[in-house]
Structure 1
Amino acid sequence: MPGKTQSFHLNATLIRSDATRHRPEGGLVFWLAALVALGVFCVDAFTPLDIAVAVFYVVVVLLVASSGSSMAVVGTTVAVGVLTLAGFLFSHGSDYTGSSIARCVVSLLAIGSTSILSLRNLAKTAQLHEQIDMLNLTHDAILVYDLGGKITFWNHGAETLYGWSAAQAVGQRIHDLTQTHAAAPLDEIYATLLSNGHWSGELQRVRRDGRAVSVMSRLAVWRDAKGEPRAILATNNDITLQKQMAEELAEQQKELRAAIDAIPGMVWSASNEGDVMFVNRRWQESGIDTKDRGADLWAGLVHPDDLSRMRGDWRASVTSGRPLDNLSRVRQRDGRYRWMHIAAEPQRDASGAVRRWYGVNTDIEARKRAEDALTRSEAFLVDAQRLSKTGSIGVAPENGEMIWSNEAWRIFGYDPASEVTPSLALILARTHPDDRAQVEAAHRGGDTPAPLIDLEYRLVMPDGALKYVHYVAHLGPPASTDLAYVGALMDVTDSRQTQEALARSMAELAHVTRMTTLGEMAASMAHEVTQPMAAVVTSGDAALRWLNRVEPDVEEAARSIGQMIKSARRANEIVRQIRAMAQKRPAAFTRIALDDVVDEAVELMAREFQRNGVRCDVQRSREKPLVHADNVQLQQVVINLLMNAVQAMAEREGAPRRVVVATQMLNEQEVQLSIEDSGPGIGEQDRERLFNPFFTTKANGMGMGLSICRSIVEAHGGSIGLDAAAAPGARFLITLPLESAQEEIVT
Structure 2
Amino acid sequence: MDLDSFSVNDSTAHRALLATGTGIWKWCLVERCEHWHASLRKALEPCFSIPISDTPSLFSLLHPRSAQLLRDSLTQIERNDESIDLTLDLECSASHGTQLRLQAGIDPQDRRQVWAVCHVAKNSVGAELERDTSLDVFASIIDCAVDAIISKSVDGTIRTWNTGAEHLFGYRAEEVIGKPITLLIPPDRLNEEEDILRRIWRGERVLNFESIRRRKDGTDVNVSLTISPIKNQAGVIIGASKVVRNITEQVKTEAKLRESEERFRILFESSPTAILLSNDRAEYIDANPAYEQISGYTAEELYGKTAIDLGTLPPDSDFQTHAMEQLNATGRLDNIEVTGPTKYGNLITVLFSTREIEVAGRREFLTVLLDISERVRAEAALRKSEERLAEAQRIAHLGDWSWNTLTDEIHWSDEVYRIFGHEPKSFTPRFRHEFIQAVHAEDQTRVASAMFESLENKERFSIEHRIHQVDGTERFVRLVGQVTQDPAESAFVLLGTIQDITDLKNAEQQAMVLRNQVAHAGRIATMGEMAAGIAHELNQPLSAIELYAEGCQRALEMGVLSTEEQLSKLVEIASLADRCGEIIRRLRLFAMNRDSNWSPIDLTEVVKASIEFMGYELQKSQTRCVVQISEEPLLVSADSIELQQVFLNLIKNAIESQELSNPKDRRIEIIVKASTDKRISVIIRDNGCGMQPHQLARIFNPFYTTKSAGLGMGLKICQTIIRSLRGEIVCQSEPGVGTTFEIVLPVVRRRMK
> What TM-score do the two structures reach when normalised by structure 2?
0.49
Higher relative strand content: 2
> What TM-score do the two structures reach when normalised by structure 1?
0.49
Higher relative helix content: 1
